[in-house]
Structure formats: C-alpha cells, structure tokens
Structure 1
Amino acid sequence: MRLLILSDTHIPRRARDLPSELWERVDRADVVIHAGDWCDLASLERLAARAASLIGVYGNNDGPELRARLPEVARADLCGVRVAVVHETGQAKGREKRCAERFGDSDVLVFGHSHIPWDSTTQHGLRLLNPGSPTDRRRQPHHTYMTAVAGNAALRDVRLHRLGEES
C-alpha cells in the first residue's frame, strides 16, 4: 500500500493550490494522510475527491467547517500497520515520551504543526513522522512531504521528499 504523507498545506493562505508534483503523487497513492492545517474546506474536498483513500485531521489553523468534518485524532489499520494521525504533539523536547504514552497502541504517529520534518522511533517502538510542509517551509530549507509503503504489518521505504527533486 503506497502512502502519501502531508501536513500544513495552508491553502489558500500560503499557496493557491498543491504543487503539481503532489497532485501526481495523490493519483498514485493508495492512501493520502494529511496531518492538519488545511485552512480551506475546498482543499479537503478536492483532495478527498481525488485520493483513493484519505485520512485527515484538523489543525490549529482550521476553522469550524473543517473541524466539523475532521477529527482531532484519526486512527487506521493500513495492512497491519496501526497508524495514528494528530496535528500537534507539543515541543520537540520530550516529544517521544509524550507520544509513546498517548499513542502507545499505534505503530506509527503522523503529526504536523511545526513544519519541521521529523522521523524518529521511540524506545517503545512508536515511529514518529512529520512530513514538513509542501507549501510553507517557514525557516526550513525546502518544501517537503513524505512517502512510505505499508504492508505485512510493517512500514518501509519511508522517504522525505524535497519538492522539485527527482523521485
């Protein structure tokens, strides 16, 4: 199962649309995961209409319309990989411990908010993934997103992509 992992798209505040490279990835993905800060209900609707399957949560910049349609935390079993999605996890210091306590029943936690790419594994085996942002890099050197493959109860081929790089 091919996964496309996004967060913090901030449309239309930071960009008018997702970059074409991402729309191409949406078309090839079996599941698109979005960890919040859509900022626009139309963005959710466009992505939901085009994605084979969509797992999403709301973020701190998402208003009442998005909060009415999306949960704060989403959970899914993807080919035996227990995935949780949330927008905010708090400051980097202590993140792994906090997330292991809150999401200990998951194999993978996808989160956003900071716009800082993150890939680590807690001492309890929870994998933490933040794809950064494809539209609002803030102080990061690149706009980013992630891809991965879920299958046979394992997550593999996790890759951070810089927009515009060969993939």
Structure 2
Amino acid sequence: MSDTHLPKRAKALPPELLEQVARADVVVHAGDWVDTATLDLLEERSRRLVGVYGNNDGPDLRARLPGVAYAELGGLSWGVVHETGQKQGRERRCAEQYPDLDVLVFGHSHIPWDTTTEDGRLRLLNPGSPTDRRRQPYCTYMTARVASGRLTEVELHRLPLRRATSFSQGDPARR
C-alpha cells in the first residue's frame, strides 16, 4: 500500500485491507502515512513491515522510517521508495538508480503502476492508494506472491466506493 494520508483522506484503513494485512507475510507501505497511528497499527498487525516516509510525512514519521528501504523477500531484492519522478522515463531512471533490485515498490502519484524495465530485470509496482483515489476510478492496493525466487500473482485490488461520510472532510466528490 501507499499514500494512506490518514486521517486527512479517510478516517481509517479499509477493513478489507486490514484483513489482508493479517494474512500477509510482509506488508509494504511506500510512504505518505501522515499520522504515526497508522504506522503503530501496521507494526502491531503485521508479521513484518517494510515502510518508508513520503513527502507529506512529518518529523515523527521521518524519525522512525527511512527514505528508502531494502529487503530480501523470497530470494528477490526489493526496494521501497515514495517518489520516482515523472512517469516518462521512469523505468530507465529506476534501473539506473537501483541496479541491484529485482522489485521496486513506490507511491506518491496514487496511480497504480506495474511495469518492467526494458531488459526485464526490474519490476516497478505502485499500489495506488487505499484511501485517496484522486482522479482514479477506485481506491486500490496490491498483493503479490513470491515463489521459487520469482514474483508471481501480482494483483491490483479495487476497493468498494465509500459514502462521503466516511471522509473526515465530508467531500462528496471524493467517493
């Protein structure tokens, strides 16, 4: 997941996502938590949490999280970062900046993304946002499996539209 922006964009993480957190071996958050309560919650409910701070995260979160995180998961080298820059040239830029990674999870745009670099070496994943869809049709998150050192079953999950009252700002346009 990425870009949860709690409690500004929603009051809480969606129940469906929290159910997935409980089932996951590893939970990844690519920044813009906004509140430390979400970090505390995911640390409590996750078997393992890999997360970074984003551009909207203040000093409390930056004191607890790195700007870039690295992890070996299922025989693959993973990286997590909040921003990767504009979409044009992203694959080339990330391949140059992260030459030792197999998978890079990023956020910031709230736009789901799943591509591979031209040489097929690096997979780039952006799960979108489970709480702030911006101009996207749905709020989203991703799940993935790693088997025999390969990334398999990458799935983008669309969350049900919520009533405007579930947003703390009550903006009906944000459903």
Answer yes or no: same fold by TM over 0.5: yes
Given that 1:78 and 1:151 are in contact with CA atoms closer than 8 Å, whether structure 2 keeps it comes out as no
1:145 matched to which residue of 2?
141
Given that 1:55 and 1:74 are in contact with CA atoms closer than 8 Å, whether structure 2 keeps it comes out as yes
SS at match of 2:143: strand
Aligned partners of 1:152, 1:42: CA distance in 2, in Å? 35
Structure 1 unaligned segments of length 5 or more: list them: 1-5
Aligned partners of 1:144, 1:53: CA distance in 2, in Å? 21
Matched, 1:134 2:134: no
Question: Comparing both structures, which one devotes a greater share of its residues to strand?
Answer: 1
1:29 matched to which residue of 2?
24
Instruction: Report deviation, 1:151.
Output: 2.6
Matched, 1:114 2:109: yes
1:54 matched to which residue of 2?
49
SS at match of 2:16: helix
Match of 1:86 among 70, 81, 85: 81
What are the superposed Cα offsets for residues 14-70 of structure 1, whole Å, 9 maximum, x if unpaired?
Answer: 011100001100111010000000000111011101111100000000000000000
Identity between Structure 1 and Structure 2 (%): 66
Larger radius of gyration: 2
> Normalised by the size of structure 2, how large is the TM-score?
0.90
1:3 matched to which residue of 2?
none
> May I ask how many residue pairs the two structures share in their alignment?
160
1:126 is aligned with what amino acid?
A: L
> Normalised by the size of structure 1, how large is the TM-score?
0.94
Aligned partners of 2:19, 2:154: CA distance in 1, in Å? 18
2:76 is aligned with what amino acid?
A: V
Instruction: Report deviation, 1:150.
Output: 1.4
1:158 matched to which residue of 2?
154
4+ residue segments displaced more than 3 Å: none
